[in-house]
Amino acid sequence: MPAYRPEEIEKKWQAHWKAHRTFQAQNHSEKPKYYVLDMFPYPSGAGLHVGHPLGYIASDIVTRYKRLRGFNVLHPMGFDSFGLPAEQYAIQTGQHPALTTEKNIETYVQQLSSLGFSYDWSREVRTSDASYYKWTQWIFLKLFNSWYNLDTNKAEPLTELTARFAASGSDGIRAAGDDGDRLSFSAGQWQLFTEKQKLAAVLPYRLAYQQDTFVNWCPGLGTVLSNDEVKDGLSERGGFPVERRLMPQWNLRITAYADRLLQGLDQLDWPDAVKEMQRNWIGKSIGAEVTFPVLPARASGAAGQVSDTPAAASATSGTPSDTPDVASEASKATSGAALSSSGGSEIKVYTTRVDTIYGATFLVLAPEHELVDVITTPAQRAAVDEYIAATKRRSERDRMTDVKAVSGVFTGAYALNPVNNEPVQIWLADYVLAGYGTGAVMAVPSGDQRDWLFATHFGLPIPAISDAQKDIDQQADPTKEGRYINSGIINRLTYKEATPKLIAFLEEKGLGKGKVNFRQRDAIFGRQRYWGEPIPIYYKDGTAYGIAESDLPLVLPEIDEYKPTETGEPPLGRAQNWLYRDKYPYELSTMPGWAGSSWYYLRYMDPTNEARFVSEEAEQYWGSVDLYMGGAEHATGHLLYARFWYLFLKDLGLVSSGEPFQKLINQGMILGRSNFVYRINGTNKFVTLGKKDQYETTALHVDVSILENDVLDMEAFRKWRPDYNEAEFITEDNGTYVSGWEVEKMSKAKFNVVNPDVLIGKYGADALRLYEMFLGPLEQYKPWNTNGISGVSGFLKKLWRLFHPEDGPLAVTDEPATPAELKVLHRAIQKVQEDIEKFSFNTSVSLFMITVNELTALKCHKRAILEPLVLLVSPYAPHLAEELWQELGHEAGSISHAGYPEFREEFLVEDTVVYPLAINGKVREQMQFAAAATAAEIETAVLASDFLAKHGEGKSAKKVIVVPGRMVNVVV
């Protein structure tokens, strides 16, 4: 038999697995089920680098282990194949995104297969296949045709809502969403509504609805971007300017599920950090909604008026001196009662600290607030318009995270504080967002630091409201201690006393109400792109209708170019004669990337079903995902949306579990090991690391593939890039060029990306799998160092030689194992099982190395030991294990269902125990006893020995203390 040759063995077994469908799962089995899921990849043109397979390797180890433990395991793979990168490439080249996507998927399948993953490829799904997105569209239609009944706390078909309208009108219906958007009508009025009027009345109840929404609009890409796709006001892809724009958008009413999404987290075995991110994103708070009536531009009073004075000029980040004098303006009115309201305009604010309302000295609106145009005075119009234009160039994320800069502008308008009828200025500031809460905040500078900074910057009042507040001339003090001062009806009350009294007062006066609020907003669902799922909506007389389910899928039409039309319509506007039933225009937006990924795990259960998105039998058998492996970066995106869709499907009785993913593990990132060359400034000369301090140099990244052990291949470097063709080198004294190195994120820009194909070709897939696990705990960030993989490769060769000494023929014997050999084996069986169950894979790899070294030292070539060892190693190094298993006489490819070795504790029990012997607690020597010896037997033996004579200084023993298995202490 030749030496261990992974390049031959691995191709052999990969072909065998594919031909025999070794890992195909069954939807009916007497075995217990176990569903292992990887977050499926977007197939980029770059393919995989060595950082990508980390989670896949870990999940595959669990998968193979669970099969050995007797489970029917579902371990599928597919591709999240819609997306912006393919579309941008199509815009640049004119090539259809489907062609580049197909080519990229072929590369991914080849790379994933070469790593020996035990996927059931018969269940592969691609979100861009019409047979798949037919059901994504079907789920959207279910959302479009459902409402959320707060009385039953679940989604219900709209037919039930319209039946209630017909029976008793809109009265008494409690639905998720904004009541202010809904009509009030009787049953008789409903019967008289036209079809269009009925649809308009129903629209504010739908779980999928259209609404003018502020979005991140990128003219350069011609599409709406999510917050994650915008950085510093520019698109992450392409670096194009992004602005906030009000556009009609499709939304999904995820807010209806906010409380259930929050409560469900308590039942999930997920990382605490991910659950906390979702809790913060949902942002439940208990407080009050308060109405501030807006004063007209000129409000008559007994002694004067509040006006749009020229003093109220622009007050942005650097001009606090232009701020109007609130005190003097307010003094123009003898009392708040003399100030009339503005004919119906009012500003609603949500606050968790209604107890501080007497300290609210100004209001701050989001620049996008709907009342800005209405209330801005002529004197302030130019300043307000300038500020709004500047705000549009900043993303929501930038606005939320920038806590240092202070900017704002006065609108010239005033509102009434409802508890004391005092006029308060109305300002705009970009730290308030239109989509959060009501898009307005009551500013209490004495109790909120951001309000304090704003008030200090613009010279606004900061009155104290509690006798416990300290140093509010230096910073805000949000204390809830003490008793209230300067606070009208709650003066001298405590926080617990004041809050309910104020809420009762506001509710009695019709100026507010207690309310539970959520930070989370409804999910914007439309994208002005081509390469995505068409939204199955058509328009008749300007009203949206869902297409008939029998007409699904609505397939992407062919178009001539993949960019927006000349008139600004999305790319689908280029489709010729694209009409529903040759009559009605379709919706031109497509779905976001997260649509297809919100339910793909369900389709894996039954991927070829043409009649249903998943059969009832398959869904009930597989239930929820038992183990989900993926990145924490999806905490408030995919993971939240998938939970939302699952709960919705649960409401409709289409799925049977409580949550989609029971256990989640976030694998850490493998960091790249970058290498640097040092160019002498102003020259094309490069100096080695050992001599660089002798020159003024600039460090430049260099492709890690042209180095070995940090030694640069100088000729390869010259060929690497044309500008280095004439490079000269100042080397070490031995003639080598040694580069510098640093651990950074893997990136093509840093030339530190390592292609797994190269390593597999050199060392084999089993070596790469073991090495990635060996790098450290799965959840942690780990630096990559290609040099280390050779050690793991050496271990596999050493394992091979237990079966093939000196790389000769198979030399496994049927001799009985010795106690020492059995001890080594069963210690490994126990430890590997414990490690995999707690997902501690790096420690198992270390144990394998120790085990092989010990068995090598024992010169063990016995079947009784090596056959169980092959089973232990098989989840980690499956190709080598399959080869050895077959050589041991088993049917080819049968190791996956062979059964995990049984651990027997008796083989770890020691025959003898060495006891330290002490005099008065000080250890003097050791004695060996039988492991089964009793305390009395040990005491007798110690006293019968010469131990006391040697160390007792002539004293007699008062007492002998025996700690079983640990030590003996003689007290003298």
Cα(708)–Cα(764) distance, integer angstroms: 18
CA distance linking residue 731 with residue 715, whole number of Å? 13
249 CB-near residues (< 8 Å, 6+ apart): 210, 211, 212, 213, 215, 224, 524, 525, 526, 589
Rounded CA-CA distance 377/370 in Å is: 15
d(CA 272, CA 9): 42
Sequence-distant (6+) residues with CB within 8 A of 443 are 360, 361, 362, 363, 364, 427, 451, 454, 455, 460
Beta bridge partners of 212: 248
What CA–CA distance (Å, rounded) separates 515 from 438? 12
* Residue 748 marked ligand-binding: yes
Cβ atoms of 780 and 671 within 8 Å: the answer is: no
The DSSP secondary-structure symbol of 297 reads: S
Indicate the DSSP class of residue 924: E
Dig out the tokens for 689 from the structure: 């690391």
Q: What is the distance between the alpha carbons of residues 116 and 118, in angstroms, rounded to a whole number?
A: 6
Backbone dihedral region of 427: left (phi > 0), alpha (psi from -120 to 50 degrees) or beta?
Answer: beta
Give the DSSP per-residue string, 134-165: HHHHHHHHHHHTEEEETTTTEEEEHHHHHHHH
Is residue 243 within 8 A of residue 393, CB to CB? The reply is yes
Q: How far apart are CA 777 and CA 769, in angstroms?
A: 14
d(CA 218, CA 87): 15
- The answer to whether the CB of 441 falls within 8 A of the CB of 351 is yes
Cis bond upstream, residue 875 (ω within 30): no
Residue 74: closest CA among 125, 124, 122, 24: 24
Strand partners, 217: 224, 243
Residues across the chain: 972
Q: Contact at 8 Å (CB) between 215 and 248?
A: no
Measured CA to CA, the distance from residue 757 to residue 522 in angstroms comes to 43
* The residue type at 635: A
Cα–Cα dist 699/688, whole Å: 11
Secondary element (H or E) of residue 639: helix 638-651
Q: Do residues 503 and 514 make contact, with C-beta atoms less than 8 angstroms apart? A: yes
Q: What is the DSSP string of 748-800?
A: GGGT----HHHHHHHH-HHHHHHHHHHTS-TTS-EE--GGGHHHHHHHHHHHH
Q: At what angle do helices 789-803 and 878-887 cross, to 10 degrees?
A: 10
Q: Which tokens belong to 52?
A: 């990508």
Residue whose C-alpha is closest to residue 624's, from 298, 903, 267, 889: 267
Q: Are 126 and 78 in contact (CB under 8 A)?
A: yes
What is the Cα–Cα distance from 160 to 859, expressed in whole angstroms? 77
State the Cα–Cα distance between residues 525 and 213, nearest whole angstrom.
Answer: 11
* Tokens linked to 757: 């194909």
CB 747 within 8 A of CB 669: no
Residue 324: both structure tokens together: 């109007």
Dist CA 426 CA 249 (whole Å):
29
Q: Which residues are annotated as a binding site?
A: 748
Q: Which residues are annotated as a binding site for ATP?
A: 748
